Amino acid sequence: MSFLKEGSTGQQAEDFALAYLLAQGLVLVERNYRVHGGEIDLVMRDGTLIVFVEVRYRNNDRHGSALESITRSKQARIIRTATWYYKEKRIKTTARFDVVALTSADGQFHPLWIKDAFRLN
């Protein structure tokens, strides 16, 4: 889709993931929602669902894949942050936790979108 450019690769990865999800029909609600102890990269809407999206990028698998970097503790921080979001915004609809794992080759991002990647337990 889009070529890597000079600058913050993390920001470019998030921009790419956002454009990719918008092309899939999701609607952006909020970007980089932060509270003490956590951040959610993208808050989107998929029909009536609120979708909390974690974007992960790795240019190689030397230290594990982008997907493998979302540990249980990272999932717990995202869930905790989503809980704050629900309370602050007084959300009543159902939520889903998605991951967009990106790799790059030949100067391009390659997405792996995992819907419902993890759940509240």
Spatial CB neighbours of 110, under 8 Å, sequence gap ≥ 6: 102, 103, 104
Provide the pLDDT for residue 69.
65
Which stretches within the chain are classed as H helix?
9-23, 72-89
In this structure, are strands 95-105 and 49-57 parallel, antiparallel, or unpaired? parallel
**pLDDT exceeds 70 at position 59:** no
Q: How far apart are the first and last CA of the chain?
A: 36
Q: What would the two tokens of residue 98 be?
A: 């998605």
> pLDDT tens for residues 10-57?
889 999 999 999 999 999 999 999 998 899 999 999 999 999 999 998
Q: How many CA atoms lie less than 13 Å away from 36 in the CB half-sphere?
A: 0
Residues facing residue 110 across a β-bridge? 103
**pLDDT exceeds 70 at position 67:** no
For the entire predicted model, the pTM comes to 0.86
Residues facing residue 39 across a β-bridge? 34
**pLDDT exceeds 50 at position 3:** no
Give the residue carrying structure tokens 């309370």: 87
> pLDDT tens for residues 78-117?
999 999 999 999 998 889 999 999 888 777 888 999 999 9
Structural domains of the chain sorted by starting position, each given as residue range(s) with its CATH number in brackets: 9-118 (3.40.1350.10)
DSSP codes of every residue in 86-113: HHHHT--S-EEEEEEEEEEETTEEEEEE
